[in-house]
Amino acid sequence: MDNQKSSFQPSFIERIAIFIFQFINKFVSWFKLPGILGALNLAAIRIELRGHNLHDGYASTSAQGNAHDEPMDDERYLNARHSSGKFNSLECPLMGSAGMRFGRNFPRKDCPKPTVKELWTPNPRLVSERFMARKPGGFIPATTLNLLAAAWIQFQTHDWFNHELNDESFTVPLPAGDQWSDDRMQIPQTKPDATLDPSDVECPGYKNLNTSWWDGSQIYGSSEAVTSNLRSRHPDGKLMVTEGGIEGFLPRDKDGNPLAGFNNNWWIGMEILHSLFALEHNSLCDMFRESYPKWTGDEIFDKARLVNCALMAKIHTVEWTTAILAHPALQIGMNANWWGLAGETLTKLAGRISKRSEIISGIPGSGVDHDGIPYSLTEEFVSVYRMHSLIPDNIAFFNAKEGKHQTTIPVADMTFKNAQKPLAQGLSFADIFYSFGINFPGAITNNNYPDFLRDLTSPDGLHRDMGTVDILRDRERGVPRYCDFRRMLRMRVPMTFEELTGGNKALAKELSEVYEGNVETVDTLVGSHSEPVIPGFGFSETAFRIFIVMASRRLKSDRFIAGQWNADTYTKEGLHWVQHSTMKDVLIRHFPELKETLKKSKNVFAPWMQMDESKKYQGLETTVFKPA
């Protein structure tokens, strides 16, 4: 028995739209159509993907639990998120909770466990060396974004997924002449879930240790025990932050690790965003305490968490996504995901003008729909969010008041326990946010992987090349290679390396050498980095096809976004906070010294306006935004 396929069936009108746009796309790609027509084309593509590219990680829905076997002992969670993710679905209480399997975007029979030859061919370390390593002075900037956009996506993925690892390790065979400093490279294997069905032998299932919901688990944790430890001991519903000294600093454990819901892979980018939204939570607590003085600490905490999570989901949907996918059709489509075609202004004034239509009034409040398959995040979704190339090698820091350059620090020196280094050197959170606003991230393309991540020793003593890890993980978990990946998304499949690279003969030649002349064996990550990019896009269309079906699903399946989007659950003050706050508002609320700089910023994830002193900086020309 294979995993369950979505039972979603498009309506008659939707089938007609799919047919019409399939015909149009034979002659004109969706991204070459006028904005609104392109957005409608994307809507048809998304409907088609819902029917073909949603598959459960289990052979039976019984794995999702039922209300009888998983009773809700505390009715508090009817209107509040449970930290483990349980009870988001009242019918299937385990759906999307911590410890449940990742789903798939393709049938599991097409995502089998690799043979030994498939796992190691071509050598993943060789692939990393040839297609990931930054050449000396070869940092490639993404000039339409700022470094805050890079930090944001890691901040979000830490909320969404975290595979369980095994005690056993792979020993990576090093290519001849490799300069790796150790005699070997060991990488822990992903731990397969228990065999619950014969299909699990051919294609093992893997557990997500985080919740799959948009519930801020990176801040609050994925269990009630962790959440309890992160809360202030005062009866105000707040999270713990330090008082005095560095403002709003996250407290540390006895080993110097930050106390957060998810503190792996920590660096200064995580430090500032975790701190920011811990402060945002506490500001919400102050607002609710003033509005509802008789509430208990739990009541305040629950409402603050609901609002904080919804605000992050909104920021990601209508701000981050429209920055990294700066195409007219996406501007229309992503804003419509939240506000509907009715638009932001009308929705803020009148609320939902259509009770159920997500097209007219957006997904929040439109009603929960799992598209005919139990909700989960997928292995392919994890794969397309491998975006380590966004991280630069160095960050130039500036004063947020005058804009004067203060120092430039290698990112490698601001990782793990050293993430506080800029703060310890006298920089403020406002200084760091301003600096992130005017620094470029790296472009998501070949040969743009940060050097320090390809020679990384983590606090557990593990020394590895993360480029090698990225390639190995996709193969290990059965993510199809590039051509099959596109084939199963019903996309055009390249017949030659030159066709894959859009005519880049030098890159085609190098790909052919490493992949021994067989374009069918190109890894999905490498192929996605090699294909021509749609104008305005920060990543490949191949990756985007997974994104387009999963982005709306994360909203539409969530009871607290698509379902109970009302004042009874959020309060009228809470709904107003979400709908009338942007990332700019959040930053200014906590760091008012950024107000003048941000007043002309339309999107906080695009390069910020620089002060005159910053414009004088002549350091890392490719890293810091230089105005025309």
Catalytic (active-site) positions:
385
Helical spans, DSSP H, in 242-296: 268-291
- CA 444, 382, 105, 485 torsion: positive or negative? positive
Q: How far apart are CA 270 and CA 419, in angstroms?
A: 8
Binding residues: 388
C-alpha span between 191 and 334 (Å, rounded): 35
Q: CA 275 → CA 241, 260, 433, distances in Å?
A: 8, 9, 12
Are the beta carbons of 584 and 598 closer than 8 angstroms? yes
SS3 547: helix
Please give the annotated binding residues for heme b, written as ranges.
388
Instruction: Report CA dihedral (303, 306, 308, 309) to the nearest 10 degrees.
Output: 170
Helix (H, G, I), strand (E, B) or coil at 89: coil
Token match 């593990």: residue?
A: 462
Residues linked to residue 449 through DSSP beta bridges, in sequence order: 133
Q: 244 φ, ψ to 5°?
A: 80, 170
Q: Which residues pair with 394 in a beta bridge?
A: 410
Distance CA 519, CA 627 (A): 41
As a three-state string, the secondary structure of 328-391 is: HHHHHHHHHHHHCCCCHHHHHHHCCCCCCCHHHHCCCCCCCCCCCCCCCCEHHHHHHCCCHHHC
Contact 322, 331 (CB under 8 A): yes
* Two tokens, residue 177: 């002449």
Question: Which helix or strand (DSSP H or E) is residue 575 part of?
Answer: helix 572-579
